[in-house]
Structure 1
Amino acid sequence: MAQSRLRTPHVHRTSPLHGTSLLHRTSPLRRALACASALAGLVALTGCGGTSAANSSGGALKVGVLFPGSLSDDGFMESAYRGYQRAAKKHAGTIAFSKVEQVAPADYEQALVRFATGSDLVISLGGQTDAAVRKVAARFPGVHFAEIGGPADAKPTANIALYDPQQAEAAYLSGAASALLSKKGTVAFVGGAELPAIVNAAQEFANGAKAAAPGVKVLAPQYVGDFNDATKAKQSALADYGAGADVLGQILNLGHKGLAQAATQSGGALLGGPIAHPCSADPAYAGYVETDIGAEIEYAADHLAAGTWKAEAVHFGLTFEQPHNDIVLCGNPPAAVAKKLEELKAKIKSGDITTR
């Protein structure tokens, strides 16, 4: 199936449409056990989940990154990890990177403390880490912290920078595309958890749908409770398809595989993302809304290396100087659909439409 690209050029992208993961897919259980051991004992976090060789550089700046989920989730964490890899390569010899993945919520604080005791900058991924980040940052005022994907309306503190990947903006585009592609005039959104950022994204999905097609019906959003549970996600999707929706938007990680199964079973479709794959990979996908989460790790590392890092709130997406959101439609969508999406993108870039 062909792809119709509604592309805004940006430079921080690596093969966005390939289907092969950049990761060495080791056993999730083995990674989880290794991380648990590192957190419980007095061994370095740099041994958890595989670490950049830059950590052996004694004089380098040090950056520790907390990935609560799997680096091979085909979603938020994997998109972020791609940026981690780019940053580690770019700043090799200058910055020593270390990471930990698949950390249980009860262990967020301990992982952050261990990073903070030996790092110049600590980065956490996901709004689920917000409370732990703020608590640990207060204990280490001399250490920089950056939170990616926290509450969109949160304020930075003296040593916490907040980076907003504009998932709400991506969801707005997803809602618009869903409404324009829907044949039944009914669409729906499925989120991984009822976190503030995801709830906001669900609202913007509805806003985008109604902006593109004022008469469209948007079902109440569903929250699976787990970004990676494909079985529960499938149940939510089947409920939406059963209620009349034929195109779904989503913010899930591995859970989106359940949505694709439901779409195939019900004759519906969904919008993928944040990582786009070839349209031929699965006909259930009507397109992909891309969000380059990893660009924010690069941004933090670039400023740390340059000595210009500061505690600030930065909004990425289409309004950033190098846009990191985009949309790819599969097949040959009507020209009117592509035109409407371009119009909405232009309004977001100009500030006529705001999504936070």
Structure 2
Amino acid sequence: MPHSRPRTAPVRRTLACAAALGGLVAATGCGGSPSASAADDTLSVGVLFPGSLSDDGFMESAYLGYRRAAEKHDGTITFSKVEQVTTADYEQALVRFATASDLVISLGGQTDAAVRKVAARFPDVKFAEIGGPADGKPTANLALYDPQQAEAAYLSGAASALVTKKGTVAFVGGAELPAIVNAAGEFAKGAKAADPAVRVLAPQYVGDFNDAAKAKQSALADYGAGADVLGQILNLGHRGLAQAATQSGGFVIGGPIAHPCSADAAYAGYVETDIGAEIEYAADHLAADTWKAESVHFGLTFDEPHNDIVLCGDAPAATTKKLDELKAKIAAGDITTR
């Protein structure tokens, strides 16, 4: 694809894991668009997925967008990825991508320190962080994309307050990161906006987005304290919440990927958040040579809204109306969640 202004020629890369990311731990993996062109003008994007691509959560939602972007830009952009990277290896993975990519994307606020450090070392490479601190600032070559997890949590809190039978709800987060703490606060605000009388328990942080056993313990504690509906930001860990809900007769608000309500009776509904749309956004602008080191907020205020709430069962008309009212206020900017 022609470019409106000169750019640094991309470093040639291979899609083989051994060449691209061979120094990482064995648990990692990489891949790219199998039919990507090797022409000299092909752009390259490397994406760091710290978690599993099949986590039914943040990482998988992002991976769906990765696949859409790879298909859309086949022949123009070569995509490579690495998944399930330990914290100690974030920097190494990002450096390896930076030496062979035009754009490097990192997923999750847990990568914030590493991506900022590596971006500073490679000023001629573009970087984008998805899901970092809500108050983070972009740098000269680092863009920040906010999937509005706090907004999704607000909707989750509102839905929890509207479906609870016991008048008590709670939130479980994977780690006590700034973005997750902010989301927990918005969960409480959303619950109170929907029903000022609802009781919101103090948030719990599992310490691991993927530990289902620990998540189950946290959920059982909340159900034991009187809650019957839980909001969450977890990856594989949400399975533990569903187990606890079934055991305790409670419910969970799932997401960011929605499933048929018949799939698991433990879920009272789902908050949908399209994390992958942000990978598509970055790739589209890279291909068009319009990429900028900007801060972009997605969600309901974006041109194409990427958050929604789906309730299971036959929700009363008043419940649906209240959720629609809150969504409209967020989209209009009357309610802010960051």
Provide the residue aligned with 1:61 in structure 2. Answer: 43
1:74 is matched with 56
Partner SS, residue 119 of structure 1? coil
Task: Name which of 263, 288, 308 aligns with 1:281.
Answer: 263
Runs (5+) with no aligned partner, structure 1: 1-32, 42-46
Q: Where does residue 106 of structure 1 map in the other structure?
A: 88
Q: Name the residue aligned to 1:240.
A: 222
Is the contact between residue 156 and residue 162 of structure 1 (CA under 8 Å) also seen in structure 2? yes
Aligned-pair CA distance for 1:51: 2.5
CA contact (8 A) 1:174 1:271 kept: yes
Contact 1:83–1:294 (8 Å) recurs in 2:
yes
Q: Match for residue 39 of structure 1?
A: 23
Aligned counterpart, 1:199: 181
Which of 317, 325, 332 is 1:350 aligned to?
A: 332
Aligned partner of residue 137 in structure 2, secondary structure: coil
Q: How does 1:254-273 map to 2 (within 5 A)?
A: 254-273=236-255
Cα displacement string for residues 297-326 of structure 1 (whole angstroms, at most 9, x for unaligned residues): 000000000000000000000000000001
Give the whole-Å Cα distance in 1 for the aligned partners of 2:234 and 2:302: 24
- Partner of residue 147 from structure 1, selected from 108, 111, 129: 129
Q: Is the 8 A contact 2:57 2:257 kept in 1?
A: yes
Q: Which residue of 1 aligns with 2:4?
A: none
Cα shift at 1:56: 5.1
The aligned counterpart of 1:250 is: 232
Answer yes or no: is 1:49 the counterpart of 2:33.
no
Using the aligned pairs only, state the percent identity.
83
TM-score normalised by L of structure 2: 0.92
Q: Kindly indicate whether the alpha-carbon contact (under 8 Å) linking 2:36 and 2:75 is maintained by their aligned counterparts in 1.
A: no
CA distance in structure 1 between the partners assigned to 2:158 and 2:58 by the alignment: 21
Residue 131 of structure 1 corresponds to 113
Q: 2:252·2:267 contact (CA, 8 Å) conserved in 1?
A: yes
Aligned counterpart in structure 1 of residue 158 of structure 2, from 176, 186, 192: 176
The question of whether the paired residues in 2 share the 8 Å contact of 1:34 and 1:49 is answered with no
Taking CA–CA contacts closer than 8 Å with sequence separation of 6 or more, which of the two structures ends up with the larger relative contact order? Answer: 1
| Structure 1 counterpart of 2:76 | 94
The letter for the 1-side match of 2:22 is A
Q: Is the 8 A contact 2:219 2:241 kept in 1?
A: yes
Answer whether contact 1:75 1:275 (CA < 8 A) is retained.
Answer: yes
Contact 2:20 2:97 in 1 (8 A): no
Displacement of 1:49: 3.4
Q: SS at the partner of 1:65?
A: strand
Aligned to 2:5: none
Paired amino acid for 1:50:
G
How far apart, CA to CA, are the structure 2 residues paired with 1:261 and 1:35?
A: 41
SS at match of 1:53: coil
Q: Decide whether the 8 Å contact of 2:211 with 2:236 is kept in 1.
A: yes
Structure 2 letter corresponding to 1:105: T
Partner-residue secondary structure (3-state), 1:106: helix
Output the CA distance in 2 between the equivalents of 1:258 and 1:182: 20
In 1, Cα distance between equivalents of 2:107 and 2:247: 33
User: Which residue is equivalent to 1:22?
Assistant: none
Which whole-Å CA distance do the structure 2 matches of 1:284 and 1:167 have between them?
Answer: 22
Judge conservation of contact 1:212–1:340 (CA < 8 Å) in 2.
yes
C-alpha RMSD of matched pairs (Å): 1.8
Aligned residues between the structures = 320
The 10-residue stretch of structure 1 (51-60 or 138-147) with the greater mean CA deviation from structure 2: 51-60
Q: Which secondary structure does the structure 2 equivalent of 1:207 belong to?
A: helix
**Alpha carbons 1:54, 1:97 under 8 Å: kept:** no
d(CA) in 2 for partners of 1:49, 1:350: 40
Counterpart of 1:71 in 2: which secondary structure? coil
Q: After TM superposition, give the deviation of residue 35 of structure 1 in Å.
A: 11
Once the two structures are TM-superposed, the CA of residue 185 in structure 1 deviates from its matched residue by 0.6
Residue 254 (structure 1) shift: 0.7
CA distance in 1, matches of 2:192, 2:222: 18
Q: Could you tell me how far 1:350 is from its partner in structure 2?
A: 0.5
Contact map agreement 1:162 1:314 (CA 8 A) in 2? yes
Q: 2:170 aligns with which of 168, 181, 188?
A: 188
Q: Secondary structure at the match of 2:270?
A: strand
Distance between the aligned counterparts of 1:254 and 1:224, measured in 2? 12
Mapped to 2, the partners of 1:216 and 1:114 lie a distance apart of 49
| CA-CA distance at 1:58 after TM superposition | 3.4
Q: Establish whether residue 290 from structure 1 lines up as the match of residue 267 from structure 2.
A: no
**For each residue in 1:127-172, what CA deviation from the matched residue of structure 2 results, as whole angstroms up to 9, or x when unmatched?**
0000000000001000000000000111100000000000000000
* Inter-CA distance 55–39: structure 2 relative to 1 (3 Å threshold): farther
Structure 1 letter corresponding to 2:319: V
Match of 2:311 among 313, 329, 336: 329
5+ residue gaps, structure 2, are 1-16
Compute the TM-score of the two structures, normalised by the length of structure 1: 0.87
Q: Partners in 2 of 1:170 and 1:35 — Cα distance?
A: 39
Which residue in the other structure is 1:229 paired with?
211
